[in-house]
Amino acid sequence: MLKLMICGLLAATSVSASAQDAAAVAPAQASRTMPANTLLVVTPAEEISSKKIDVGSKVKFVTIGDITEQGAVVIPRGSMVSGDITFKTGKAIGGKSGKFEVAFRTVQVRGTEYALTGVHRQEGKGNTAAALLGSILVSGRSAVMKPGDEGRAFTAAPIPY
């Protein structure tokens, strides 16, 4: 009986020691975070034109390069970024160009979405000559953003890695 009690006491002590060892290691393995307001350079996944979108339309972008923090890739190149069209005007007579604004909402990183901030405004090229002449027969151009064109978004909160 005494032998069983001693074995039980030794087993409890070794479990307790293992738990203490694990607790001592845990702080060294604590998660790091990339700070809020980190810049992401993004490009549209497909062409966006003021002719084809409306306020409230959802648009997709991808990150252009890896976003790193302390040598670690936190947001890999090609990560999906979502945005909404928050403002739009069409081209108009007198040389006025079309315009739209995209508000960036989220970035998807390894299956988790993280909030973004930032707005990109795209304007079409106006027809300056028509505007100077006051012509009502000539209109401006639609605003177009193509893959390869750049926009800027920012992380809204720290992202763990």
Confidence of residue 132 (pLDDT cuts 50, 70, 90): very low
Residue 52 pLDDT:
94
| Token couple for 47 | 């062409």
Mean pLDDT of the chain: 81
**Would you state the pLDDT for residue 92?**
64
Q: Give the pLDDT band of residue 95 (cuts 50, 70, 90).
A: low
126 pLDDT higher than 70? no
Task: Report the pLDDT value the prediction gives residue 110, as an integer from 0 to 100.
Answer: 94
- Alpha-carbon gap, residue 96 to 90, rounded angstroms: 9
Return the C-alpha torsion angle 25, 27, 28, 31, nearest 10. 130
Pairing of strands 72-75, 67-69: antiparallel
What mean pLDDT do residues 82-111 have?
90
* pLDDT for the residue numbered 2: 40
